Homo-oligomer: A and B are copies of this chain.
Amino acid sequence: MPSDSFSSHTTCVEVALGERSYPIEITSSELDEIGARILLRIPDLTHALVIFDSEVEKRWGSLFIKSFSEPSLPNGNRIRVDSIAVASGESSKSISQLAELWQWMLDRSADRKSVVIAIGGGVVGDLAGFAAATYTRGIRFVQIPTTLLAMVDSSVGGKTGINLPTSKNMIGAFWQPSLVLIDTDMLRTLPKRAYLSGLAEVIKYGVIDDISFFEWLEENSRKLVDCDDKTVRRAIAESCRSKANVVSEDERETSGRRAILNYGHTFAHALEATAGYGTLLHGEAVAIGMQMAANLAVATKLCSTELLNRQTTLIESCELPTTFPDADVKSMLVVMQQDKKVSHGKLRFVLPERIGQVKMVGDVDQAYVARAIEACR
């Protein structure tokens, strides 16, 4: 099967990280050939360790495993495929689940040439990626994100890890995948609310990095909401390209450049922490958080109200919330004081100057922050 048989509906984004560079292939309706696609990129694959999200496994598991056993595999390779499912949800990013994966890999005689394939959302990607980063001090890793959020966010950047009982993402490694495969068909089985939630991060890239992408989103929000294949592929590709540019300038989060990806997130984390678990999806909190940040930027005369208005309209047309009536200003401020981005007690925010351009602003007056939250209640 020639490689160009994939090309008509496939966009490829290259994440440039020197010897750790890798491609993100974005396509639609190619799920039955996914095994062959992986083999084209990793021709020496002999042993696949497939780690599924348990919900994804129910829907796509047999199709995926079957795609590795097709007689049309290139070079007639014979692949040993072992698979395991981990429970959906954040609680799988635990030490005990990680220990179970390590033992499973050993029991399946995984060695340095084995390849971990993670199929699921951010939780499975983070967990399986960290297992890959640490098994025999690091083996190769393919990511197949199945949620829009994972496609546009965690598929770029190499962040892997688990939680400690009282602290998220405290343990982990920077470990770049060898390949990321995205098929928009997988979005069709995602609940609509979860799908829309992912659009918040897509909008974020327009605001922080790319006005022409923002304008394209304004024109195409209807098609995006309807999950039109071609439109979604482009939105994913542009998002990955934006994030890849930022990450390739600051792979290990040392220069501060990567911080711009946190636009809206300081508010969002405080919303998530105070709203009660499960009240808001992450992307919904990010949408409201971006509104709070834009309000703060207007109040501190960093940007015009036009930016705020255009952002509001775009978020609304993506059927995402722009306000959260139950927001508790006082407890949100307490949470924000504990945020990792706080430097010696002074609140710092990523704020927009104009569409496509943000800056890090330190030492923001708490009264302005409180008013920005109020504005979105």
| Interface residues, chain A, with chain B CB atoms under 8 Å away | 95, 99, 102-103, 106, 111, 133-138, 159, 161, 164-167, 170-174, 252-253, 340
A111 — nearest CB in chain B belongs to which residue?
B340
- Tell me the bound Cα distance from A111 to B252 in angstroms: 15
Tell me if A171 and B95 are in contact (CB < 8 A): no
Given A95-B102, A134-B173: 6 more A-B contacts, CB < 8 Å? A102-B170, A103-B164, A103-B165, A134-B161, A134-B171, A137-B174
Which B residues touch A103, using CB under 8 A? 164-165
Pairs of residues from A and B, 4 with the lowest C-beta to C-beta distance, nearest first: A137-B172, A95-B99, A134-B171, A137-B174
Contact A167 B134, beta carbon cutoff 8 Å: no
Interchain nearest-CB distance for A269 vs B (Å): 16
A95, A165, A171: most-surrounded residue (chain B CB, <10 A): A171
Q: Is the CB of A137 within 8 A of B161?
A: yes
Provide the bound-state CA to CA distance between A165 and B99, in Å: 11
Q: For the complex, give the distance between the alpha carbons of A95 and B111 in Å.
A: 20
> Which residues does chain B contribute within 8 Å of A171, judged by CB atoms?
102, 134-136
Identify which of B106, B111, B134, B340 contacts A172 (C-beta below 8 A). B134
Distance in angstroms between the alpha carbons of A174 and B175 in the assembled complex: 12
A289 to B170, CA, bound (A): 42
Contact of A170 among B135, B161, B167, B174 (CB under 8 A): B135
Report if A159-B137 is in contact (Cβ < 8 Å); known contacts: A106-B170, A170-B102: yes
5 A-B contacts (beta carbon < 8 Å): A102-B171, A106-B166, A137-B174, A137-B253, A138-B252
Q: With A and B bound together, what is the CA distance between A99 and B98 in angstroms?
A: 11
A133 neighbours in B (Cβ, 8 Å): 173
User: Shortest Cβ distance from A342 into chain B, in angstroms?
Assistant: 11
- Collect the chain B residues with CB atoms within 8 Å of residue A159's CB: 137
Residues in B with CB closer than 8 Å to A136 are: 170-172
Cα of A232 to Cα of B19 in the assembled complex, Å:
40
Q: Chain B residues near A137: list those with CB within 8 A.
A: 159, 161, 172-174, 252-253
Neighbour of A173 across the interface among B167, B170, B173, CB < 8 A: B173
Distance A172 CA – B135 CA, assembled complex (angstroms): 6
Residues of B within 8 A of A99 (CB): 95
CB-CB under 8 A from A167, the residues of chain B are 106
Report the minimum CB–CB distance from A120 to chain B (whole Å).
21
Known: A103-B164, A164-B102, A164-B106. A138 touches B170 (CB 8 A): no
- Give the chain B neighbours of A95 by CB distance below 8 A: 95, 99, 102
Q: When chains A and B are docked, how far (Å) is the Cα of A301 from the Cα of B196?
A: 72
Question: Separation in Å of the A78 CB from the closest CB of chain B?
Answer: 15
Residues on the B chain within 8 Å of A135, using CB: 170-171
A254 nearest CB neighbor, chain B only: B112
Q: Which residues of B contact A106 (CB under 8 A)?
A: 164, 166-167, 170
Tell me how far the C-beta of A131 lies from the nearest C-beta in chain B, rounded to whole angstroms.
Answer: 9
